[in-house]
Amino acid sequence: MKTRLLAITAFTVFFALAASSPAWAHFVWITVAKDSAGQPQAQVHFSELAEPDSANLLDKVAAVQVWTRTDSGQPKTLKLAKQITDEIGSWVAPIDAGTFAVSGSIKYGVLDRRGMTFLLWYHAKHLDAGAADFKALARDERLTFDLVPHAGAKSFELEALFDGKPAAGSEVVVLDPEGNESTSKTNAEGRLSLPSSKPGLYSIRAKWTIEKSGTEDGKAYPQVVHYSTLALRVPEKSREPAAQASVAQPSAAELLNRAREGRVIWSGFPGFEADLTLYAEGRQQQGRVVVAADGGVTLTGFKLKDDQPIVTALRSLVGHRLGSGESDDRVSFADEQTDHPLGRLIKLDYDSAMASTYRLKDDVIREVNRQMDGGRFTISVFDVNRSAEGKYLPGYYTVNFWNKDGSLRSSTSVRETWVRVGQYDLPATHVSVAAGKDEHKNVSMKFSNHKLLK
């Protein structure tokens, strides 16, 4: 999986974070994706689903033990490091090409929740159902509580095992690649059928509680709670020859990668500083902004009730221009429509959590659609700026948020311009107008006297 934070506008992450509600539960998940250099890596997330979450949560699971597996040979323990982009992070480690199974476990500690005290364990596993040795890799005996998938002719069956024995009555929650969630319990044999076998990434978790008392770090507990997660990747089935696209038509992956390659990226960026005229919180102020080579942002000279929204927006802007080297091969056309004014609709087959889709036209990403906790949002791009090399930057776009019931929550219009300094196209102006229930906000930024850092 590649990063979900597509660099379509400087304020995408800012808007998404502002509209999201607090996380309701977090679990340890393991996925496999490519790094910025295109090399495979294992990723450990502390999140609601099998995807990255707030970097502030990573230290809570710093003690997690992770290992790769093959159908022959001993498991290989991984050394993890933090990877953070736009305040979203994971623990990561490089893995060998062709690795299809990664597992991990952590004793989280003693917790008190709703008057209950318990020792909490997390167990996690990533599996690729397209592996030739998938059957041999499905069970990891090192996991005390394990979710074991079994491939059938048309679907999968899940088996929950605790200490190698069926966990009958275990509650299992499944989120399929299209964002559909289902909850059920295992039968007397500890088994249940997967609701679907659609291609993409499944986020599956199960809970098992045992009455066992003890003491951990000086804290007594009467029971132990185990959570097991499974990030199961189901590959797309081979197409019938009659359904194959014409050789003259580019694939969905080719269109998306061309659009990504067409963006302005700051290669070898040294950082910059500039004077900043800022209108926010109902008044205009003068100050200074310094942007470091790694994307860090420092504001000076401003008096704001809360400067975090401005800092977050600037970090997002810089992070998108730095690029991540992402590319996608697990995408497909979402429909057959070819005459939409914003272009072809493409979905990310691996992104079950946010059900991301993009519209592409003239090698430009014109629309981003994503689901999130509490609703969904759409970014529509009507105009872009072009660099001297013909690459594109955000120009004029709108961001709309909807509630779960389909009602419009807020709408924001944004206009941005850029200025060439040396070999870099740096931000020149940003103006946004946001409207929602009982609110109307304006934010304006004007950058001047840009200076590249040494």
Q: How many other CB atoms are there within 10 angstroms of residue 128's CB atom?
A: 19
| Residue 320 phi, psi (nearest 5) | -70, -35
pLDDT of residue 237: 63
Contact 244, 238 (CB under 8 A): no
Percentages (nearest 5) of helix, strand, coil residues in the chain = 10, 50, 40
SS3 239: coil
Alpha helices in 117-177 (DSSP H): 134-137
pLDDT of residue 300: 93
Rounded Cα gap, residues 33 and 97, in angstroms: 11
DSSP-derived secondary structure for 183-238: EEE--TTSEEE-S---SEEEEEEEEEEE---EEETTEEES-EEEEEEEEEEEPPPP
Q: Between vectors from CA 256 to CA 253 and to CA 258, what angle results, nearest 5°?
A: 105
Rounded Cα gap, residues 304 and 145, in angstroms: 49
pLDDT of residue 45: 95
Low-confidence residues of the chain: pLDDT under 70: 1-24, 71-73, 237-248, 324-329
Question: pLDDT tens for residues 262-308?
Answer: 888 888 899 999 999 999 889 999 999 999 988 889 999 999 888 88
Q: Which tokens go with 308?
A: 């975090």
Contact 324, 36 (CB under 8 A): yes
SS3 64: coil
pLDDT of residue 244: 41
Give the pTM: 0.53
Question: pLDDT tens for residues 100-145?
Answer: 999 999 999 999 887 889 999 999 999 999 888 898 899 999 999 9
